[in-house]
């Protein structure tokens, strides 16, 4: 008589009834194996759980010797059960004892059973256990029976990872529960202890059994159409669309979204009685397990695309928010994301965020700029950390050293607790320097200003004791807005900035968009290399209406005040003259209408494009001030994309080459009597700031949190001695002066 499974729908209903009972964990597991054995008409059903990444333990059984429960263990790769955990594939055998992986375990009594069906229990595509059914007679289990066991394995995965089961599997490792150390890149300094919040939360499927299969198919179809629409929109609005490597990646993404085989597999799962969500998860577990084992690196990399598609589909099906920003955040949240824009970070309740971890993104990314303003430590280039963490995992990050401690032990938590106290003491020491003038030991005053761009930055001006705002990034207001800010909104914003600054100077930078800073409501030009294309002043001059509106707003906001305005990404004198003529036209317009404008207007340029260095004698007589944007100046001087993690360590701003170029600008500005400052991220680090004042810079602008450490350095340095030390080194062919500068600081007891 043929064996016949009762079907996943009946099995799911029975499992749900068991889980609804208030019983101790072991009794519940014992009933589950009985139900599964009855469903597939098997003499044996056993559940094995992965305990420490290497060892599987028998947790429950129907048919094997009861005394073997919690006694029988095997390594991953050992025996049939171990091979299933290792390979993440089912085994369906009619003569199990003849299989080369079979291993006799005398304490279980399984030598009586010939037929064997083993199924991995997945979580996030990784096996966390194995479900086994066995029979005395030789038989091959049917597809229906495989489906029943597979469905049960998926339900068990959710049971095993629920809080109710924590006491039973607290030592389960699988790479996702053991303490781990991850070395990444420091982006924003600071130490944070908290719990993981995924920026794009995984959807936990809790409803497995479908009441109406046709309704579930319809829900899936609607969600698939929505998903494809999202992907199409993403490609249409992406600056990387077209014939490029990035464009090919996005097209591959669309190919997966339109893959009929993927959809048909989910539909087949629904036909067995699963909900659409459960079907998506079941199929994704299968795909993920196969891709993780593939020797083809390209296919393994596509696992991320499939994961993202499946998560998007699940969020569409469940109506969940696309990001955690719109959910109720727990206190002490540490956000983990693949990447993030500045507006997305501002969507969160900053009072509850302790830190941010990015798989992609470095010190010069725009989300890092916002994080500095919010005083949120950030670690970037964190590999594939999303696959290692679980929501609410304990985690510690060190933004200065790029260190991540995932699920840290008590000793590590205690050590970092002391670090946090030490950091707080340092901050208190810096706070005491707020009203102390920034003067070197031999009497040279250095002006320290802050970089800003948002209203949340402005309190830092007084808190840090800075001399002013050396760079106000006006584009950030545009980047976080849902549409182009209107004239009145811009006037109100700039007026608030000037009012908050009081009698301290503010240097506004005109709209600097393009390249990696695109506005979400503007179409992006298709460019082979956006970093070398329409960006900064080039884009503003090409779209003069944008610049005219901003200039009018600035002139209105600075009424009867001193307006400092500088232009970014200047490549020639002609570009500056064109921008100046636009300003003069708007000033004439004001006067012709009898309106008062600023009491004084100072116009400056940013030196970011190296070509301007050979035009300094022509352009310096025409400008009121100059500011070096060290971030872009470095990337163009070295032809190394500052957002490319692979190039991050290929050049150093403390190389003699870079310092020599800066020295040339310092000398030229001094000869022409033009005020000079530097406002790139280079100025935020005490060692780099020491090099800058050593080559003659007397004004630097930085992140607000850096004012204290840099001022402490300045107060402890003798400038004349530093200049004598650094001057001959700038002419050497050494790749970097970093070691020599460190040694000088140590030898002269300079505070860092």
pLDDT digits (tens, 9 = 90+) for 304-352: 567 777 878 888 888 876 677 777 888 899 999 887 877 678 778 888 9
Judgement on whether residues 273 and 396 belong to the same structural domain of the protein? no
Per the model's pLDDT, the better-predicted residue between 466 and 639 turns out to be 466
Give the helix, strand, coil percentages of the chain, each rounded to 5. 50, 15, 35
> What mean pLDDT is reported for the chain?
84
CA atoms within 13 A on the CB side of 611: 8
Tell me, what's the pLDDT at 673?
97
Tell me, what's the pLDDT at 526?
63
CA atoms within 13 A on the CB side of 99: 21
The reply to whether 1 falls in a domain is no
Distance CA 473, CA 469 (A): 10
The reply to whether 685 falls in a domain is yes
Judgement on whether residues 489 and 394 belong to the same structural domain of the protein? no
| Segment 666-702, tens digit of pLDDT | 999 999 999 999 998 899 999 999 999 999 999 999 9
Per the model's pLDDT, the better-predicted residue between 647 and 462 turns out to be 462
| Segment 80-93, tens digit of pLDDT | 999 998 888 889 99
Q: Is the pLDDT of residue 164 over 60?
A: no
Per-residue pLDDT, averaged over 37-65, amounts to 87
* Count of helices and strands (H, E) across the chain: 26, 22
The domain tally of the chain equals: 4
Tell me, what's the pLDDT at 519?
64
The reply to whether 594 falls in a domain is yes
Per-residue pLDDT, averaged over 230-251, amounts to 55
Judgement on whether residues 142 and 189 belong to the same structural domain of the protein? no
Q: Highest-confidence range of 126-140, 402-416, 571-585, by mean pLDDT?
A: 571-585
Q: How does residue 244 score in pLDDT terms, banded at 50, 70 and 90?
A: very low
The reply to whether 35 falls in a domain is yes
Note whether 714 and 738 are within 8 A (CB): no
DSSP state of 329: P
Q: Is the pLDDT of residue 163 over 60?
A: no
Per-residue pLDDT, averaged over 253-265, amounts to 78
Instruction: Phi first, then psi: give them for residue 121, nearest 5 degrees.
Output: -100, 115
Q: Is the pLDDT of residue 464 over 60?
A: yes
Q: What is the CATH number of the domain that holds 310?
A: 1.10.274.10
What is the domain range of residue 101? Answer: 8-169
Judgement on whether residues 78 and 15 belong to the same structural domain of the protein? yes
Please give the distance of CA 269 from its chain centroid, rounded to a whole number.
33
Tell me, what's the pLDDT at 643?
62
Judgement on whether residues 650 and 515 belong to the same structural domain of the protein? yes
Tell me, what's the pLDDT at 175?
47
Instruction: Phi first, then psi: give them for residue 254, nearest 5 degrees.
Output: -65, -35
Q: How does residue 246 score in pLDDT terms, banded at 50, 70 and 90?
A: very low
Judgement on whether residues 546 and 643 belong to the same structural domain of the protein? yes
The reply to whether 206 falls in a domain is no
Alpha helix (H) residue ranges in 319-458: 342-346, 366-374, 410-432
Token reading at 370: 């916002």
31-35, 178-182, 190-194, 394-398: range with lowest mean pLDDT = 178-182
Domain-ending residue, one of 423, 443, 478: 423
Judgement on whether residues 107 and 187 belong to the same structural domain of the protein? no
The reply to whether 224 falls in a domain is yes
Judgement on whether residues 196 and 127 belong to the same structural domain of the protein? no
The reply to whether 358 falls in a domain is yes
Token reading at 4: 């016949």
Q: Which of 186, 187, 197 is nearest to 352 (CA)?
A: 197
| Segment 515-558, tens digit of pLDDT | 666 666 566 666 667 667 777 888 888 888 889 999 999 999 99
- pTM value? 0.62
Q: What is the CATH number of the domain that holds 339?
A: 3.50.30.10
Judgement on whether residues 332 and 314 belong to the same structural domain of the protein? no
Cβ burial, residue 94 (10 Å; 0-12/13-18/19+): middle
Give the CA distances from residue 267 to residues 72, 149, 151, 156, 258, in Å, rounded to whole numbers and listed in that order. 39, 18, 14, 22, 14
Judgement on whether residues 665 and 702 belong to the same structural domain of the protein? yes
Token reading at 750: 């300079």
Token reading at 167: 């006491």
Q: What is the CATH number of the domain that holds 461?
A: 3.20.20.60
Q: What is the CATH number of the domain that holds 91?
A: 3.30.450.40
DSSP state of 519: -
Per the model's pLDDT, the better-predicted residue between 714 and 412 turns out to be 714
Domain-ending residue, one of 285, 318, 351: 318
Distance CA 151, CA 498 (A): 63
Q: How does residue 26 score in pLDDT terms, banded at 50, 70 and 90?
A: confident
DSSP reduced 3-state for 406: strand
Q: How does residue 28 score in pLDDT terms, banded at 50, 70 and 90?
A: confident
Length of the chain: 752
Judgement on whether residues 546 and 596 belong to the same structural domain of the protein? yes
Q: How does residue 241 score in pLDDT terms, banded at 50, 70 and 90?
A: very low
Q: Which residues of 674-704 are buried (b: 16+ CB within 10 A; e: fewer)?
A: bbbbbbbbbbbbbbbbbbbbbbbbbbbbbbb
249-253, 437-441, 457-461: range with lowest mean pLDDT = 249-253
DSSP H or E stretch at residue 727: helix 719-729
Q: Highest-confidence range of 129-133, 276-280, 534-538, by mean pLDDT?
A: 129-133
Domain-ending residue, one of 397, 423, 449: 423
Tell me, what's the pLDDT at 498?
97
DSSP reduced 3-state for 118: strand
Per-residue pLDDT, averaged over 363-375, amounts to 74
Judgement on whether residues 577 and 623 belong to the same structural domain of the protein? yes
The reply to whether 175 falls in a domain is no
Q: How does residue 388 score in pLDDT terms, banded at 50, 70 and 90?
A: confident
Note whether 182 and 385 are within 8 A (CB): yes
Distance CA 625, CA 312 (A): 49
């Amino acid at each position: 008589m043929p064996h016949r499974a009762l079907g996943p729908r009946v099995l799911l209903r029975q499992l749900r009834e068991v889980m609804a009972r208030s019983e101790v964990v072991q009794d519940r597991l014992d009933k589950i194996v009985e139900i599964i054995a009855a469903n597939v008409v098997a003499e044996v059903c056993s559940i094995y759980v992965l305990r420490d990444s290497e060892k599987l333990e028998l947790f429950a059984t129907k048919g094997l010797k009861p005394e073997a429960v919690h006694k029988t263990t095997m390594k991953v790769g050992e025996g049939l059960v171990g091979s299933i955990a290792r390979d993440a594939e089912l085994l369906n055998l009619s003569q199990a004892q003849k299989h080369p992986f079979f291993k006799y375990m005398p304490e279980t009594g399984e030598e009586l059973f010939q037929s064997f069906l083993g199924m991995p229990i997945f979580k996030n595509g990784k096996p966390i256990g194995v479900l086994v059914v066995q029979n005395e007679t030789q038989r091959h289990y049917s597809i229906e029976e495989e489906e029943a066991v597979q469905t049960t394995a998926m339900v068990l995965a959710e049971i095993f990872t629920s809080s109710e089961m924590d006491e039973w599997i607290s030592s389960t490792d699988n790479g996702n529960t053991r303490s781990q150390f991850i070395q990444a890149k420091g982006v924003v300094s600071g130490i944070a202890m908290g719990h993981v919040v995924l920026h794009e939360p995984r959807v936990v499927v809790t409803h497995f059994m479908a009441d109406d299969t046709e309704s579930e198919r319809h829900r899936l179809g609607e969600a698939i159409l929505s998903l494809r629409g999202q992907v199409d929109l993403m490609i249409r609005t992406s600056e990387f669309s077209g014939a490029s490597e990035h464009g090919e990646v996005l097209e591959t993404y669309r190919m997966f979204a339109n893959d009929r085989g993927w959809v048909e597999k989910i539909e087949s799962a629904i036909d067995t009685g699963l909900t659409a969500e459960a079907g998506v998860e079941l199929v994704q577990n299968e795909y993920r397990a196969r891709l993780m084992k593939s020797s083809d690196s390209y296919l393994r990399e596509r696992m991320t695309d499939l994961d993202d598609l499946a998560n998007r589909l699940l969020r569409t099906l469940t109506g969940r928010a696309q990001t955690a920003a719109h959910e109720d955040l727990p206190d002490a949240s540490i956000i983990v994301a693949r990447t993030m824009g500045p507006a997305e970070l501002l969507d969160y309740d900053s009072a509850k965020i302790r830190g941010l971890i990015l798989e992609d993104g470095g010190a010069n990314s725009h989300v890092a700029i916002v994080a500095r303003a919010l005083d949120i430590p950030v670690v970037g280039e964190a590999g594939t950390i999303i696959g290692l963490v679980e929501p609410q995992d304990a985690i510690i990050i060190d933004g200065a050293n790029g260190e991540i401690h995932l699920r840290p032990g008590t000793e590590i938590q205690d050590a970092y607790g002391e670090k946090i106290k030490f950091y707080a003491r340092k901050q208190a020491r810096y706070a005491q320097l707020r009203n102390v003038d920034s003067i070197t030991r031999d009497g040279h005053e250095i002006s320290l200003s802050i970089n800003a761009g948002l209203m949340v930055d402005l309190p830092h001006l007084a808190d840090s004791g800075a001399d002013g705002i050396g760079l106000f990034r006006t584009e950030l207001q545009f980047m976080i807005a849902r549409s182009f800010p209107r004239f009145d909104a811009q006037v109100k914003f700039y007026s608030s900035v000037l009012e908050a600054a009081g009698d301290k100077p503010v240097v506004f930078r005109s709209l600097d968009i393009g390249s990696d800073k695109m506005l979400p409501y503007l179409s992006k030009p298709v460019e082979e290399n956006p970093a070398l294309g329409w960006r900064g002043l080039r884009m503003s001059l090409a779209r003069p209406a944008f610049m005219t509106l901003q200039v009018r707003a600035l002139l209105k906001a600075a009424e009867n005040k001193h307006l400092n305005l500088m232009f970014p990404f200047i490549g020639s004198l002609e570009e500056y003259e064109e921008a100046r003529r636009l300003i003069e036209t708007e000033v004439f317009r004001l006067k012709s209408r009898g309106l008062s404008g600023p009491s004084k207007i100072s116009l400056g340029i940013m030196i970011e494009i190296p070509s301007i260095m050979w035009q300094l004698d022509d352009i310096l007589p025409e400008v009121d001030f100059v500011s070096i944007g060290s971030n872009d100046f470095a990337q163009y001087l070295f032809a190394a994309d500052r957002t490319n993690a692979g190039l991050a360590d290929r050049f150093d701003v403390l190389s003699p080459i870079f310092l020599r170029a800066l020295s040339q600008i310092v000398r030229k500005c001094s000869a022409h009597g033009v005020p000079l400052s530097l406002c790139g991220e280079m100025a935020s680090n005490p060692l780099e700031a020491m090099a800058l004042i050593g080559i003659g810079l007397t004004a630097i602008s930085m992140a607000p949190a850096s004012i204290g450490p840099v001022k402490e350095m300045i107060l402890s340095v003798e400038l004349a001695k530093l200049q004598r030390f650094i001057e001959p080194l700038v002419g050497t062919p050494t790749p970097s002066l970093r070691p020599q500068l460190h040694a000088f600081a140590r030898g002269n007891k300079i505070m860092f």
